[in-house]
């Protein structure tokens, strides 16, 4: 059951001019579910992407990186669920290339203008006959208004579709941003997550879009974790079609900051939706680390808390067992941490000061905060001025059930 | 339910000449259970210890380090369960010192000759009245033959006592090694674990014992993990009474290697018992990483596998979902890892080669190994000659139950 995950109604989703989407059932892993999605992008669309740092980068990730480097305009995306095409060696690579080739033939473009994506089980062969056999139906389904269906058809263990859509005004014109994401387990993105797609009808110069894509990922998908497992297939893509008539060429452009903020905001919402729908999650936790000497040490502390199974199970139990948070801060790897300068808040309750329990702390105050579905844990390290925020969830019986059952 | 945890019968436990142990019920957290243990050591005993690297080092850990540095011969240990006296600031420190003072008075020694240990809940005040009130009863109980009772009385969420006892021959004389350990959750020792005590009636020069204690910890307690949570109270102590008449003064001593091997072996068994009795464990996993370029990178890979919730839940389900292991290897942090040189075995089954699935791998072979209670995962990195081995367990519903319920 997702934690406060807002699903807009289909009528509130704004199509993005220059983006068509088609969906079909390929039966890659399971019958009777939509599992194949094709994006067609208008000529002139800028596309940028960031990908997993896992050394077992999936075959489609490797092909994406190669195709994005060729500088031929990207014109299509092909996304399958049910099989990750990861840990599949040379054969897997050839299958990802074959997918691009067949999509290119159907859309009358070049294979290197196609980006392939796969998500699902690792180390199993991708059933190409089913994928290629279903591609024509997905292409036939291409239409402007298919975002809601796409959000469904890229799901795996997700219980809810994840979609954001908003409009901003730039230079007196309406600019649309619409995006989808998926992911619920194997989530500790380290470049992007598995998978996020955000499109806008603003035009953005290709080099600039690459930088903006990385900035957006670093403030959104790269700040969430469910289980600390960085996936082999993480991919986050921004597409800018330019069809709104508004184009941003450089960071000096007066619209740059507004557009970047809108992209970051939409990306963060897509990323947070993954945490809200994380496998077995019952609580959405924001871990904010302030007064750090560096962003790196703030992130070390935030991730130590966010990954501790003991902290996560205590939140599941709504038990303010706060010593577990102090313990995680203590082993986060800041070897010269002076614990007497540290302060810890649970929501608005000051829990620890001077290396120990706040003398005024009352267990019932901690208990009150722990009952909430959304909880902010705030740590002040007393070492400097830098802050970082990470989003995560609790650790429940349902997580074990899902991950002990998934696949078998 | 512990995994193949051998409990010797009481009659098979050899007392260590020069060590007396007393136990009582102090009611520190729960009534009607033994929770206070005192060791008395004969004059001339060498004592060495290694302690947690957690920056929130518990008060007793800080006092242990100070007392071990004073060079007055350590003559007693006081161990309470039910409360960790961690995250308790200056007041906690004074309580640990007060414990030493009272034990010293009862035993007619100096306070700095006492080492205090606490284990249990963090961030709660240690009830000194109960602890001090019960100390005389523990001292009255001191006897040669109390190891089995001590193994019980230091338990917290442990389901089984952990004890090893063995004898070796050195220079024609019988030398005894007997030890106990405890711990089941918050286990990723990074110096030692919470808690291990090993005594021998061999004599060992104090400086040499410090080195041997560190070597033994590095090959045992520092190679286990349950949940990646390095505790605030980890402590591992070796005591060498010299009462066997055999003394080792330097590494040039002909008995040095035999004695070191015996100490390492006993330490490793005590450490493995913690994993066998880990919270909710149903499987004991040995993660062996071979052909690494450095010990450090071998450990990175071994711990990435050992800490992955997805790997651990797959083992719980006896599901050979081996892509999850490849994924963990891929994000372990070796940025120049060439996955095409990597091989992965599950037990005796070669699962992955050349960056992908072994073409000869049959799912039923993986399934067969996964049914076992003890499983070896072996990775060859193809980068060098170094190996490291880490011991861990699976991740079950019971882990969540225990940690969502513990304390509340």
Residues contacting residue A397 through CB under 8 Å, at least 6 positions apart: A280, B397, B400, B401
Domain co-membership, A154 together with A262: yes
Contacts of B327 in chain A (CB under 8 A): 54, 56, 86-87, 122, 186, 229-232
Maximum distance among all alpha carbons in chain B? 71
B217 pLDDT higher than 90:
no
Task: Give me the pLDDT at residue A408, please.
Answer: 43
The phi and psi torsions of B170 (rounded to 5 degrees) equal: -130, 125
The pLDDT score that the predictor gives to residue B284 is 93
Is residue A21 within 8 A of residue A146, CB to CB? The reply is yes
> Which residues of chain A register pLDDT less than 70?
1, 188-193, 406-408
Whether B193 is a known active-site residue: answer yes
Distance from the Cα of B278 to chain A's closest Cα (Å) equals: 13
Are A294 and A372 members of one domain?
yes
Most A CBs within 10 Å: which of B122, B226, B300, as the mutation test of the A interface? B122
The span from the CA of A383 to the CA of B289, in Å, is 38
Taking the C-alpha atoms of residue A116 and residue B323, their distance in angstroms, rounded to an integer, is 20
Cross-chain residue pair B337–A310, CB shorter than 8 Å: no
From chain A residues 242-301, the ones with a CB under 8 A of any chain B CB are none
Residue B370 CB neighbour total at 10 angstroms: 20
- Give binding residues of B as ranges: 156, 182, 193, 279, 403, 408
Regarding whether A168 and A127 lie in a shared domain, the answer is: yes
The residue among B406 and B287 whose pLDDT is bigger is B287
Instruction: Give the residue from A221, A242, A276 where a domain finishes.
Output: A276
pLDDT in the model for residue B408? 43
Say how many CA atoms lie within 13 Å of B198 toward its Cβ. Answer: 36
Cα of A146 to nearest chain B Cα, Å: 32
More confident residue, B303 or B190: B303
The enclosing domain of B392 has a CATH number of 3.10.20.340
Q: Pairing mode, if any, of strands B356-357 and B349-353?
A: antiparallel
Look up the domain containing B179 and give its range: 10-276
Flag whether residue A29 sits within 8 Å of chain B, measured between CB atoms.
Answer: no
| CB contact at 8 A, A49 and A115 | yes
Q: Per-residue confidence at B278, pLDDT binned at 50, 70, 90? A: confident
Show the tokens assigned to B46. Answer: 């060498």
In this structure, are residues A85 and A131 in contact, taking their beta carbons and an 8 Å threshold? no
Question: Looking at CA atoms only, how far is residue B392 from chain A in angstroms?
Answer: 15
3-state secondary structure of A407: coil
Angle between helix axes A309-316 and A323-330 (nearest 10 degrees) is 160
Find where tokens 């308790």 sit: B88
C-beta atoms of A89 and B355 within 8 A: yes
How wide is the angle at C-alpha B307 spanned by C-alphas B326 and A408, nearest 5°? 55
Q: Is the same domain home to A257 and A332? A: no
Q: Which residues contact A206 (CB under 8 A, 6 or more apart)?
A: A46, A47, A48
CA distance A2 to chain B (A): 19
B156 and B290 co-located in one domain: no
Closest CA to A100 of A121, A127, A128, A124: A128
Residue A5 lies in a domain: no
Residues of B in contact with A317 (CB under 8 A): 403-405, 408
**Residue A42, token pair as written in the block:** 């208008």
The pLDDT tens digits of the residues spanning B9-36 come to 988 999 999 999 999 999 998 888 899 9
CB contact under 8 A, A331 and B229: yes
CB-nearest to A321 from B88, B188, B407 is: B407
Instruction: Tell me, yes or no, whether A134 and A265 share the same domain.
Output: yes
When divided into structural domains, chain B yields a total of 2
Pairing of strands B374-380, B284-292: parallel
Last residue of a domain, one of B276, B295, B321: B276
The band of B190, judged by pLDDT with boundaries at 50, 70 and 90, is low
Domain closes at, from A230, A253, A276: A276
Residue A141 covered by a domain: yes
Which residues are CB-neighbours of B364 under 8 A, at least 6 positions away? none
In chain B, the percentage of residues whose pLDDT exceeds 90 is: 56
Rounded to a whole number of angstroms, the distance from the CA of A202 to the nearest CA of chain B is 35
Residue that has been written with the tokens 């068994």 in this structure:
B269
Query: SS3 helix, strand, coil % of chain B, rounded to 5?
Result: 35, 25, 40
B272 and B290 share one domain: no
List the single residue in B with minimal CA-CA distance to A53: B331
Distance CA A179, CA A190 (A): 20
CB within 8 Å: B229 and A314: no
Q: Does B289 lie in the same domain as B175?
A: no
Q: Is the per-residue pLDDT at B227 higher than 80?
A: no
Query: Which of A356, A392, A394 to probe the B interface (max B CBs under 10 A)?
Result: A356
Beta bridge partners, A287, equal A377, A390
* Euclidean distance between CA atoms A272 and A3, whole angstroms: 10
Which domain CATH number covers A264?
A: 3.60.70.12
Identify whether residues A19 and A124 lie together within a single domain: yes
| Measured distance CA(B101)–CA(A281) in Å, rounded | 48
Tell whether A184 is covered by a domain.
Answer: yes
Q: What's CA A321's distance to the chain center, in Å?
A: 30
Ramachandran angles phi, psi of B175, nearest 5° = -115, 135
Minimum mean pLDDT range among A5-19, B97-111, B140-154: A5-19
**How does DSSP classify residue A14?**
P
Cβ–Cβ pairs < 8 A, chains A and B: 227
- 3-class DSSP assignment, residue A141: coil
Across the interface, do A56 and B321 touch by the CB < 8 Å criterion? no
> Are residues A74 and A120 both part of a single domain?
yes
Check A323 against B86: CB less than 8 A apart. Answer: yes
Beta strand A203-204 with A247-248: parallel, antiparallel or unpaired? parallel
Are A303 and A235 contained in the same domain?
no
Confidence at residue A278, expressed as pLDDT on a 0 to 100 scale: 84
Distance CA A11, CA A292 (A): 44
Instruction: Give one DSSP letter per residue of A315-380, joined into a string.
Output: HHTT---THHHHHHHHTSS-TT--GGG-EEEETTEEEEETTEE-TT--HHHHHHHHTSSEEEEEEE
Predicted confidence at residue A193, as pLDDT, reads 56
B:191-230 residues touching chain A, CB 8 A cutoff: 227-230
Consecutive H or E run containing A303 = helix A295-307
Phi, psi of A242 (to 5 degrees): 80, 0
B329 contacts in A (CB within 8 Å)?
Answer: 55-56
Hey, what's the torsion of the CAs at B163, B188, A405, A401, to 10 degrees?
Answer: 90
> Which pair of tokens denotes residue B387?
């190996």
Q: Could you give the CA distance from residue B156 to residue B231 in angstroms, rounded to a whole number?
A: 14
- Which of A178-187, B72-81, B273-282, B335-344 is least confident? A178-187
| A267 and A229 in a common domain | yes
Top pLDDT among A124 and B291 is at: B291
Residues of A in contact with B334 (CB under 8 A): 55
Note the pLDDT tens digit of each residue in A369-395: 999 999 999 999 999 999 999 999 998
Chain A contact set for B337 (CB, 8 A): 55
Please indicate, yes or no, if residue A192 is contained in any of the structural domains.
yes
| Per-residue model confidence (pLDDT) at position B362 | 92
Scanning every residue of chain B, which has its alpha carbon at the shortest distance from the alpha carbon of A337? B55
Provide Rg for chain A, Cα atoms. Answer: 22
């Amino acid at each position: 059951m997702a934690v406060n995950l807002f699903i807009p109604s289909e009528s509130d989703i704004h199509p993005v001019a220059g983006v068509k989407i088609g969906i079909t059932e390929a039966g890659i892993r399971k019958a009777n579910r939509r599992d194949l999605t094709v994006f067609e992008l208008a000529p002139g669309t800028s596309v940028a992407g960031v990908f997993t740092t896992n050394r077992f980068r999936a075959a489609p990730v490797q092909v994406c990186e190669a195709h994005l480097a060729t500088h031929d305009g990207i014109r299509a995306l092909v996304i399958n669920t049910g099989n990750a095409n990861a840990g599949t060696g040379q054969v897997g690579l050839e299958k990802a290339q074959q997918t691009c080739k067949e999509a290119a033939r159907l859309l009358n473009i070049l294979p290197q203008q196609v980006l392939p994506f796969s998500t699902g089980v690792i180390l199993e062969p991708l059933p190409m006959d089913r994928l290629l056999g279903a591609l024509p139906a997905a292409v036939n389904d291409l239409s402007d208004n298919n975002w809601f269906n796409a959000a469904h058809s890229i799901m795996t263990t997700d219980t809810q579709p994840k979609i954001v859509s908003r409009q901003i005004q730039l230079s007196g014109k309406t600019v649309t941003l619409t995006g989808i994401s998926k992911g619920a387990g194997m989530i500790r993105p380290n470049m992007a997550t598995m998978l996020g797609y955000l499109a806008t009808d603003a035009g953005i110069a290709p080099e600039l879009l690459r930088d903006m894509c990385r900035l957006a990922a670093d403030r959104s998908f790269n700040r969430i974790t469910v289980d600390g497992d960085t996936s082999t297939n993480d991919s986050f893509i921004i597409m800018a079609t330019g069809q709104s008539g508004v184009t941003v060429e450089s960071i000096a452009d007066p619209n740059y900051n507004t557009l970047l903020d809108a992209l970051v905001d939409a990306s963060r919402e897509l990323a947070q939706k993954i945490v809200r729908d994380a496998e077995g999650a019952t609580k959405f936790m924001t871990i904010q680390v302030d007064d750090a000497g560096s962003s790196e040490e703030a992130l070390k502390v935030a991730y130590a808390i966010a990954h501790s199974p003991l902290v996560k199970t205590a939140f599941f139990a709504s038990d303010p067992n706060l010593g577990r948070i102090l313990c995680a801060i203590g082993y986060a790897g800041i070897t010269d941490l002076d614990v007497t300068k540290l302060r810890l808040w649970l929501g608005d309750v000051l829990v620890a000061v001077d290396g120990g329990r706040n003398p005024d702390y009352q267990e019932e105050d901690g208990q009150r905060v722990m009952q909430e579905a959304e909880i902010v844990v705030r740590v002040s390290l007393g070492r400097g001025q830098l802050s970082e925020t990470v989003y995560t969830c609790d650790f429940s019986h349902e997580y074990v059930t899902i991950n002990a059952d998934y696949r078998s």
